[in-house]
Chains A and B, each alone.
Chain A
Amino acid sequence: MSGKHQKAKTPPPPAGSRTDPGPLISQAGEVRTMLARGSTKSAVELAKEIHKRCGTPASEAVLVEAYGARIRSLLEHGLTAEGKALLELVRERYSSAKQTLADIDIVVSGPESGLEDLVRPLNDPALPKERRAAIESTIKRRMTDLSALAQCAALPPDHPLRVGAAALGGSLASVTSGPVTDDALLLPQVSHRGPLAPWKQLVRAIAYFYRQEDAACDRCLQGIDPGSVPARLVSPLRAMLAQRRDASLRAASTALVSQVGGNMETLRRALESLDAAFATKAQSKIIPAIQPAIAACRIARPELVERLRQHISIKAVKLNLPVRRVRAALGSLPVEDAYFWRLYARGMETPGEPLGPIACSLWEEFRRHAVAEGWFREDGLEAAALYLHMAELLQEIPGEALEEARESFIESFPGYSTHHEDQTPGVRRAAAKHKTPDFYYLFPDQLFARACALDPHREAFERWLDWARQETDSKAAERVAESWHRALPNDCRPLLYLMESAEKRGALSKATGFLEQAEKLDALNPEVRRAALRLLVAQAIRHLRQRKAHLAEQEVAALEALPQAQEADRPAFLAALRWTCSVIRGNVETASGHFTRVSRALGGTTGAILACESMAEACGLKRDGFAVYLPVGVSLVDQAESLAAAVGRACALGDDMDVVFSIPTAWESALFKELSQPPSRLEARQLRALGEAALRRDRRELAYAASAVGLAKGGDSEARFLLLRAQALPEWEFERRADCIAAAAELGRRRRDMRLVDEAVELKRGRGRRRMNFFDWMDAADEDAFSMSTEQVSAVLQREKQSPRFPAYESRPIADPFEEDAFFDDEEAEEASDVPSFEEIGRLLVEGGDSKTRGRNEKPSFEEIARLLLDKAEAEAKKKRRQKGRPPVPEQGDLF
Chain B
Amino acid sequence: MSRHRQGVIAAHEDPREILGVAPNAGDEEIRAAYLRKVKENPPDRSAAAFERIRDAYEILRDPRRRALYMLLSGDPEAPLVSLLPAQTPERRFTGPGPWLAVLREK
Partner-B contacts on A (CB < 8 A): 144, 172-173, 176-179, 206, 209-213, 229-230, 232-233, 236, 240, 243, 250-253, 255-256, 259-262, 264, 267-268, 271-272, 274-275, 278, 293, 301, 304, 307-308, 311-312, 314-315, 318, 339, 342-344, 346-347, 350, 373-377, 380-382, 384-386, 389, 455, 457
Contact = CB atoms under 8 A, between A and B. Distances in A.
A308 B23 CA distance: 21
Given A213-B46, A376-B70, A382-B70, A262 B99 contact: no
A84 B84 CA distance: 49
A23 B101 CA distance: 51
Interface string B86-102: 00111111111011111
B76 A382 contact: no
A229 B103 contact: yes
A157 to B, nearest CB: 23
Interface in B36-63: 40-41, 45-49, 63
A385 B81 contact: no
B67 interface: yes
Given A179-B40, A308-B83, A343 B70 contact: no
B102 A179 contact: no
Contacts of B70: 375-376, 382, 385
B80 A312 contact: yes
B7 interface: no
B9 to A, nearest CB: 14
Most buried by A among B40, B47, B77, B101: B77
Contacts of A271: 79-81, 83-84
A274 B74 contact: no
A255 B92 CA distance: 13
Given A212-B49, A264-B89, A304-B12, A318 B84 contact: no
29 contacts: A173-B95, A177-B96, A179-B41, A212-B45, A212-B49, A243-B89, A251-B105, A252-B102, A256-B99, A261-B90, A261-B92, A264-B84, A271-B81, A272-B79, A272-B81, A304-B83, A304-B84, A307-B12, A311-B76, A342-B74, A346-B74, A346-B75, A347-B76, A350-B77, A376-B23, A376-B24, A381-B66, A382-B70, A385-B68
Given A173-B95, A261-B90, 8 more contacts: A144-B103, A230-B103, A256-B94, A256-B99, A261-B91, A304-B83, A308-B80, A375-B23
A873 to B, nearest CB: 35
Nearest to A384: B67
Contact of B84 (A260, A268, A374, A382): A268
Interface of B: 12, 22-24, 40-41, 45-49, 63-64, 66-68, 70-72, 74-81, 83-84, 88-96, 98-105
A252 B96 CA distance: 13
A457 B76 CA distance: 30
B44 to A, nearest CB: 10
A268 B40 CA distance: 30
B40 to A, nearest CB: 5
B99 A344 contact: no
B104 A144 contact: yes
A374 B22 contact: yes
Contacts of A172: 96, 99-100
Contacts of A318: 76
B34 to A, nearest CB: 15
Contacts of A384: 67
Q: Say what secondary structure dominates the interface of chain A.
A: helix
A233 B102 CA distance: 7
A278 B12 CA distance: 19
Contact of B83 (A260, A307, A381): A307
A240 B24 contact: no
Given A144-B100, A261-B90, A382-B66, A301 B84 contact: yes
Contacts of A229: 103
Contacts of B40: 179
Contacts of B103: 144, 229-230, 232-233
A268 B81 contact: yes
Nearest to B97: A176
A305 to B, nearest CB: 10
A880 B90 CA distance: 52
B89 to A, nearest CB: 5
A252 B98 contact: yes
A315 B78 CA distance: 10
Nearest to A303: B92
The 6 nearest A-B residue pairs measured at CB: A385-B67, A347-B76, A382-B67, A252-B105, A271-B81, A252-B101
B99 A233 contact: yes
Contacts of A274: 80
Nearest to B40: A179
Given A271-B84, A350-B77, A382-B70, A259 B98 contact: yes
B76 A209 contact: no
A271 B79 CA distance: 8
A267 B94 CA distance: 19
A373 B22 CA distance: 11
A213 B102 contact: no
A236 B90 CA distance: 16
B74 A259 contact: no
A140 to B, nearest CB: 13
Contacts of A278: 80
Given A314-B76, A376-B70, A256 B102 contact: yes
A173 B96 contact: yes
Contacts of A230: 103
B92 A346 contact: no
A551 B102 CA distance: 97
A784 to B, nearest CB: 11
Contact of B23 (A210, A256, A346, A373): A373
Contact of A293 (B80, B93, B98): B80
Contacts of A236: 102
Contacts of B91: 209-210, 212, 240, 260-262
A798 to B, nearest CB: 28
B105 A261 contact: no
A364 B99 CA distance: 46
Contacts of A252: 98, 101-102, 104-105
A253 B101 CA distance: 8
A802 to B, nearest CB: 33
A621 B21 CA distance: 70
A271 B88 CA distance: 18
Given A232-B105, A307-B12, A376-B24, A381 B67 contact: yes
Nearest to A251: B105
A374 B23 contact: yes
A206 B83 contact: no
A764 to B, nearest CB: 16
A342 B76 CA distance: 9
B101 to A, nearest CB: 4
Contact of B95 (A176, A275, A301, A304): A176
B74 A275 contact: no
A272 B105 CA distance: 33
A274 B70 CA distance: 27
Nearest to B46: A212
Given A252-B98, A262-B91, A267 B76 contact: no
B80 A211 contact: no
Contact of B76 (A144, A293, A344, A373): A344
Contacts of A343: 74, 76
Contacts of A374: 22-24
Contacts of A272: 79, 81
A382 B72 CA distance: 11
Contacts of A255: 98, 101
A304 B75 CA distance: 15
A176 B102 CA distance: 14
Contacts of A210: 91, 93
Contacts of A304: 12, 83-84
B70 to A, nearest CB: 6
- Most chain B CB atoms below 10 A, which of A232, A251, A271, A311: A311
Given A179-B40, A232-B103, A275 B98 contact: no
